[in-house]
Chain A
Amino acid sequence: MTEGTGEIVTFDNVGLRYGTEPEVLRDLCFTLHPGLFYFLTGASGAGKTSLLKLLYLAQRPSRGAIRMFGKDTITLPREQLPAFRRKLGVVFQDFRLVEHLSAFDNVALPLRVAGVREADLAKPVADMLEWVGLAQRMDAVPATMSGGEQQRVAIARAVIGRPDLLIADEPTGNVDPDMALKLLQLFERLNRLGTTVIVATHDIHLLRQVPDSLIMRLQKGQLLDPTGALRFPPRPAPRPAQREGEA
């Protein structure tokens, strides 16, 4: 993993509340550096998805400041948001595939939106689908796919444009351990190419698969560590289950 300098995302005293409800995120201060791999952990309801929403610009914070790619995203004009979003790859917890589009068209969507010609996108999309093991399911629509298959399509769609920042919300929740490992390897490979990756998960085993990753622990809307991210402790001796998963 290449350690980056500078910062790709900075949260400064960020809080988020929905309507008049109490804050779901409080006093968040952290920095994501380019080229690093982050895990965001926390129990259900800790605010992981809300934090990711702020990161993929689906939500504005109630207070505080967020800087992404050197710009203040809160004061950023709406018209400039699409250009920012094209730098992001997002794997949603609920996949968010376009129901009436095939797997191929769903994966091709970010490239088409970004203006890549049909002739230039056919091969990368086919390769990506092959990589996630869906070469035979290119023409299938989400309704005919299993949860795991849909998740793989969602991941392929998120990484196809080789984003600067990959945001994944429980990306391995619906796949078997082998596929989970394979997908994590794909994230790592992207990370090695320079993409900053942040994966929200509560799967402790997943954390152990990426050496040198950083961990952000969220509890009741607050980060447990003042600096935001902690280096994961040295990898313990692999357990039989993990060896099986890695094989």
Chain B
Amino acid sequence: MSRAQLIDRSLVRDLVPFKGRRAARLVPRNPASGPMPWVIAIMIALTVMAAAAGLALGNLADRARTDLSGALTVQIVEANAKTRAALAKRAAEILVADPAVASLRVIPREELAEMLAPWIGSGNDEGEAVPIPALIDVQLANVADTAEIARLNALLLDEIPQARVDAQSDWLRPVYDALASLQYLALALIALLAFTSAGAVWLAARSSFNNHRKTVEIVHLLGGTDRQIAQVFQRSITIDALLGGAIGLILGVLAIGVIGSQFAAIDSGMVAGGNLRQLDWLVLAAIPLAGVLLAMLTARITVMSALKRML
């Protein structure tokens, strides 16, 4: 087959095989020689850390919500200690008889006194100066929604007007709100980092394009398509992004490991709820890949738009 026939065939089929290593030689590069892989590495490391923080906070909130979703606290607000104890016992009997209640526990007086000691001091015994309500910790079979709480409240009030029923999750609502705010902050940080990374890639692609403008013009005049030329730059940026992504992931995971071990030392039930799950690790591992895709896309858009300005 003659050269002309070979070229005709490729044109007819609209093949674009001018890519890979032989096309990459048009834009010579020395991996890791420029700042690009390191910029991407820092961005990816920060993104991994922000995402890990967001996921951990999400897990923490989920765990707390699950633990408290069916939990109620019944308070018996009565000044007289003996009457209060009797009412608490009666309230427990009424609740146990209700099919919605899975279990309950009347909090012992000593336990309450111990919990409140930091605020009201110890030695607050019977004949107390500060009356402490009796508390019953109730676990429902299902979620403690508003209707269920209202029903149980009404049930108790019929016999014990001093009773007050509260969902335990209500006590933690400000904490949930704070956790949600931190999650949004992490999300905003990730978006900002992605935006900054795209900006860095845009600058790098534009600079590389301008440095190789002469070569681009030659390839253009020899019949190279925008797609072919963009692929050359895309490949160069992709290699930088892969390198930077790998380094960034390692740095990010190391930082998570160090911070995780610090928190583990706190040995708190709530902090333990913030552990990363298997799926979370997969999400973190996908961040460098998303970074590479973002870099490729940005490089492509940058080069294609620059080429559009050429004839």
Contact = CB atoms under 8 A, between A and B. Distances in A.
Interface of A: 56-60, 78-79, 81-86, 88, 90, 96-101, 105, 109-118, 120-121, 124, 157, 160-162
B266 interface: no
Contact of A57 (B2, B13, B215, B311): B311
Which 10 residue pairs across A and B have the least CB separation, nearest first?
A115-B10, A86-B223, A85-B223, A115-B15, A114-B7, A82-B225, A162-B4, A113-B224, A110-B222, A82-B223
A84 B215 CA distance: 19
A60 B311 contact: yes
Interface of B: 1-4, 6-7, 10-11, 13, 15-18, 22-23, 25-26, 28, 214-215, 217-226, 228, 308, 311
Contacts of A121: 3
Interface of B is mostly: helix
B221 A115 contact: no
A112 B3 CA distance: 11
B6 A58 contact: no
Contacts of B3: 111, 116, 120-121, 124, 160-162
A98 B18 contact: no
B306 to A, nearest CB: 13
A100 B2 CA distance: 29
Contacts of A81: 311
Nearest to A95: B218
A112 B23 contact: yes
Contacts of B10: 114-116
Nearest to A162: B4
> Which among B22, B217, B218, B311 has the greatest number of chain A C-beta atoms within 10 A?
B218
Given A83-B11, A124-B3, A162-B3, 7 more contacts: A58-B221, A60-B311, A78-B311, A96-B217, A99-B215, A101-B25, A160-B3
Contacts of A117: 6, 17
Contacts of B17: 115, 117
Contacts of B28: 100
B308 A114 contact: no
12 contacts: A58-B221, A79-B226, A82-B220, A85-B222, A98-B218, A112-B22, A113-B223, A114-B11, A115-B15, A115-B17, A120-B3, A124-B3
B6 A113 contact: no
Nearest to B27: A100
B5 to A, nearest CB: 10
Nearest to B26: A98
